[in-house]
Amino acid sequence: MLENVRSGRPDYDDQLFSPVASIICVADDNEAMRVANPQRPFGGVKESGYRREHGGFGLEQFVNVKSIQVTEVSP
């Protein structure tokens, strides 16, 4: 568990791939939303990745396609 996590440090700015929990203190709900939902590029180079995940191809990455078969049962 990490406490006193602040902007500008790797434990705040980077996604850590380890079993850690960062505790970030905020002043109010608005700051909490800003900290929880940073606008960072997603796939792409530098600024070109913004909003990419909301396009048709990007949304497919978040969808699991399932098939079902319905068979009519005779009474």
- Summarize pLDDT for 14-70 with one digit per residue, the tens: 877 788 888 888 899 888 888 887 656 555 555 555 566 666 777 777 788 888 888
- Extract the tokens encoding 75: 């009474």
4 Cβ contact partners less than 8 Å away, ≥ 6 residues apart: 23, 25
CB atoms within 10 A of CB 5: 17
Look at residue 28 in the predicted model and tell me its pLDDT.
92
- Extract the tokens encoding 58: 């990007």
3-state secondary structure of 2: strand
Look at residue 27 in the predicted model and tell me its pLDDT.
93
